[in-house]
Each structure stands twice: as C-alpha cells, then as structure tokens.
Amino acid sequence: MKNVVILGAGRSSYALIDYLLKHSKENDWQIEVGDLDISLAQEKINNHERATAFQFDVSDLENCKTIAKRADLVISLLPAFLHAPVAEICVQESTSIFTASYVSAQMQKLDKEAKQKGLLLLNEIGLDPGIDHLSAMQVLDKIREHNSSDNEKAEITAFRSFTGGLLAPESDNNPWNYKFTWNPRNVVLAGQGTAKFIQNHQYKYAPYHRLFSYCEPIESKEFTQINESDDNYKFEGYPNRDSLQYRSVYGLDNIPTMLRGTIRRNGFCASWDTFIQLGMTDDSYKIENSDKLTYRQFANMFFKYDPFLSLENKLKGRYNFSDSELKKWEYLGFFEDKKIELSNASPAQILQHLLEKKWTLDPEDRDMILMQHKIKYTYQNKAKELTSSLVVFGDNSKHTAMAKTVGLPLAIAAKLFLTGNLHLKGVQIPIHKEIYEPVLAELENHGIIFKEEITEIDKSELYS
C-alpha cells in the first residue's frame, strides 16, 4: 500500500481528491487530507473508506516531519510561500512532493539533494502554470519535428500564451464580468512586480503601475463561439510575471517574441487599473481606524481634499469615468455609507473584503477557463500561425473549471509517479514528453481538449 498526503483542502482540491480516491482501490492507495480547518478536509473525502482527514498546522514542524516520513508522496495545495519549507522537510525525510505553484528560489536550492536521494519535486503542474506548459511543449515539439523529417528547418519566431479564469456566459451577471474562482487575495495582488517579455526583438518591462495599460485583444474561433449572440463578448489579456525565463525552458532562447499573460473580459483591465493608480491594492501599510470608515470615505482617502466635489465627480474629473464605469463602482458599494468593519487593515485587505461580498460565486454559477497559445513560425518558405485554444466549463460553484484544471494535472502526474511511470528526479516542471503526453491524453477524457488551427500569414507578421 502507498500513502498519499494532500496538504490543503481549499477550493482547488475537489478534482484532485476525487480523482485519487476513485483510483485508490485499484492501486492500493491510502489518501490523507490535511487542512488547518479539518472540516474542509472531511468534506472533501466524504467518508471514503480509503481516506482520512486530519488537522494540519504548517507551523508544527515535528508534525510535518511525521507526515513526510509516513508518505510515499506529498501533494501541497498550501499557499505558495509555504511550499519550500514543507519541501525541505520532505527532502530531509526522503519523500517526493508535488505542487501547482511556480518554482521559487528556495525550492530550486533543493534540486541537488533531491537528485542525490532519487526524489522528484514536481512543480508548476496545475493550470497556469501547468496545463500551459504541457500543451505548449506538445505543440512546440510537433513543430520541431519538421526539422528531423526533412531538410527544411522550421523556425519559431513568436510565442504568445494567455490563460484566464472567468465566468460562463450565463453566470456573467455583474458589470465587472468577473467573480472569484481562485484565491481572492491573489487576484487583488496580481501583477505586483514587473512583467518582463520580448516583442519583435525589443525587451519590454511593464512595472506594476503601468501593467494594465499593456492589455491587448485575445481572439480565436473557439472563444468567439462561446457566446456568438453578443457582439460585445470579447476578451483582452495583460502580461504575466517573467516571460523571459521561459525562453530557455521551452528551448526558444533566440526567439524574437515571447509573452505569457492573463485573460479577462474586455474593459476589465482599464477598470482595475484605477484601483492600482489610486493605491487601493497596496498591502504595505495599515489604515488607522479603518473599522470606523465607510467605503465612500475609504475611496475618498485617495483623492485630494475638496469639500465641494463628490466622489463620483472626482472619478469623472480625474479618470474621465463614463456612466458605465461609475456603475461598476456603484455595484461594488463604494458610493454607500456602509462601515467597513475591518480593523487595522491595509488598502488591499479592505478592497478584498469588499470584493468578496460582490464577486463570490453563487451556488449554481459556472466558471470558465480559457487558454490560448499563438505560435508563429516559418516552414517551407511559408509564414504560418498555429492557434491552440482551450475552453473548459465548471459544473457549479464547488466543482469548478478552475478546480478541475488545477487538480487533474496534479492528480494524473501523481498516478504516473505512484505507478512507476514517471522517472524524473530533482526539481522539475512538466515540460518533458514523459509527462505531457500521458497527462494531456488523460485530460482529454475529462473534457480538457485543445483545438488547433494553422493559417498562413504574411511574413511581415512573423515577429508581432
């Protein structure tokens, strides 16, 4: 019998736990699920005969060691900053660990020891990062196969990849066209730092205060078909983190254009940018007596004092707000004289507190995951563009598309590892054929299917 320990039983854990439980009897696995809130763990295992729930506190290092010691594999769904400390303990106890988060510098430091002990520390095996790596490498390797099949070389000139967690059209019922499908705090703080990418040989650095001005249209035939009855149903994307580091990861060191980004509905970027420009997403300081303030007073704090102008007129004057933009703020409750009731809070915490009241999924709401790769290349003296698009819908507010696309890649990779079909060692991400082929093949059985289209383009478009 093999013992699998899952740490964290939040909203992204449903599909992961369901999958492992369904395969537990045939593979003789015991599944343990731990969370600080044990009721969440108990809910996810649903009295399954091969599962147990336990309370888990990451600050209890001795307990962490005990857990790692008894596990054949640890899967961490904890907040990203906790992965490395848990991974250190796992390596000490000679236990492999998988996460869906980006490889941190602290995690990378464990590579040498993990390899010496024959352990696999697999990261970035969720949605984004995760399915984006799997699908991108499959498509890139397919293009590269031209090089070995004849004397004509395929040259990749541009790689653009965007992913977004959004609402299915029937649940898209607020003026922001958005609700939380993953950690609200991560949404509020998204983009902080500097996004880095390259476009037509020119390096681009988008600092946080300018990030959302870099939005661009995101289009594909599959995305248009989602809601063909609405001409305004369109999408945009903004740059995400450091795209440059993935040039070497994807074997695209000399590529002229490389950009990874996030998808939102049209208009979201400009509206969210107002919060950034005002300073409402700042998490670096606390506001005195914040629990005594109303949301109108909170918003007014970020404008120059004027005893005559209303908040609405300040927004119109400084940001040229249209009526539709004012409606977005009105919907959130900024124009109401309701108390915040959150003491000693940062601006980001107050904004999150407000958004959680308005952007929480209703029980029957369905979310939607969109992903798109656009790859431009030359082959046989022709310029081509390959578009690979993914659309996945959730079932309801619990069994979401986000949970499915984050949890299933983790679960399938765990099965490969536990059944002896994954042989990589050290700190890895899922860019290898031995991972992406079987994981993508099984994801198709769960409705996670990419649609590809190849078109000829003008050679002048190759680097855009």
Dist CA 204 CA 189 (whole Å): 21
- Any idea what the CATH number is for the domain that residue 56 is in? 3.40.50.720
Dist CA 426 CA 91 (whole Å): 10
Residues 6+ apart with CB under 8 A from 308: none
Q: What is the per-residue pLDDT for 147? A: 67
Task: For residue 432, tell me if it sits in a domain.
Answer: no
Residue 115 near residue 425, CB atoms below 8 Å = yes
> CA gyration radius for the chain?
23
Task: For residue 412, tell me if it sits in a domain.
Answer: no
Residue 380 near residue 456, CB atoms below 8 Å = no
Q: What is the per-residue pLDDT for 151? A: 67
- Same domain (yes/no): 103, 210: no
123: region left, alpha or beta (phi > 0 left; psi from -120 to 50 alpha): beta
Q: What is the per-residue pLDDT for 152? A: 75
Dist CA 31 CA 348 (whole Å): 37
Token pair in block for residue 349: 């915490």
- Same domain (yes/no): 44, 137: no
Dist CA 335 CA 297 (whole Å): 9
| DSSP assignment string, 146-190 | HHHHSSPPPEEEEEEEEEEEEE-GGG--STT----SS-HHHHHTT
Task: For residue 357, tell me if it sits in a domain.
Answer: yes
Give the CA-trace dihedral at 70, 71, 77, 78, to 10 degrees.
30
Residue of 96, 77, 102, 126 lying closest to 2 (CA atoms): 96
Task: For residue 401, tell me if it sits in a domain.
Answer: no
- Same domain (yes/no): 143, 278: yes
Q: What is the per-residue pLDDT for 60? A: 85
Task: For residue 400, tell me if it sits in a domain.
Answer: no
Task: For residue 418, tell me if it sits in a domain.
Answer: no
Dist CA 113 CA 427 (whole Å): 10
Q: What is the per-residue pLDDT for 12? A: 86
- Same domain (yes/no): 138, 266: yes
pTM: 0.93
Q: What Cα–Cα distance (Å) separates residue 158 from each residue in 200, 251, 383?
A: 8, 13, 11
Q: What is the per-residue pLDDT for 183? A: 85
Q: What is the per-residue pLDDT for 191? A: 85
- Same domain (yes/no): 241, 330: yes
Q: What Cα–Cα distance (Å) separates residue 87 from each residue in 112, 174, 419, 420?
A: 13, 41, 22, 21
Residue 337 phi, psi (nearest 5)? -95, 50
Average pLDDT by stretches of 10, the chain with 464 residues: 95 93 96 95 94 92 90 94 94 97 96 97 96 97 77 89 97 95 88 93 96 94 90 94 95 96 96 96 94 94 92 93 95 93 94 95 96 95 95 94 96 97 96 97 97 94 92
End residue of a domain, out of 123, 147, 165 = 123
Token pair in block for residue 371: 């992903």
Residues 6+ apart with CB under 8 A from 410: 16, 75, 98, 100, 125, 126, 130
Task: For residue 403, tell me if it sits in a domain.
Answer: no
- Same domain (yes/no): 116, 214: no
* Domains in the chain, number: 2
Identify the domain containing residue 15 by its residue range.
2-123
Dist CA 241 CA 251 (whole Å): 19
- Same domain (yes/no): 263, 313: yes
Q: What is the per-residue pLDDT for 268? A: 96
- Same domain (yes/no): 299, 333: yes
- Same domain (yes/no): 119, 135: no
- Any idea what the CATH number is for the domain that residue 282 is in? 3.30.360.10
Task: For residue 306, tell me if it sits in a domain.
Answer: yes
User: Beta strands of 200-290 (E only): which ranges?
Assistant: 202-207, 216-218, 235-239, 257-265
End residue of a domain, out of 369, 393, 417 = 393
Residue of 222, 247, 151, 249 lying closest to 369 (CA atoms): 222
- Same domain (yes/no): 138, 25: no
- Same domain (yes/no): 101, 176: no
- Same domain (yes/no): 146, 100: no
End residue of a domain, out of 340, 359, 393 = 393
Residue of 132, 93, 98, 137 lying closest to 20 (CA atoms): 98
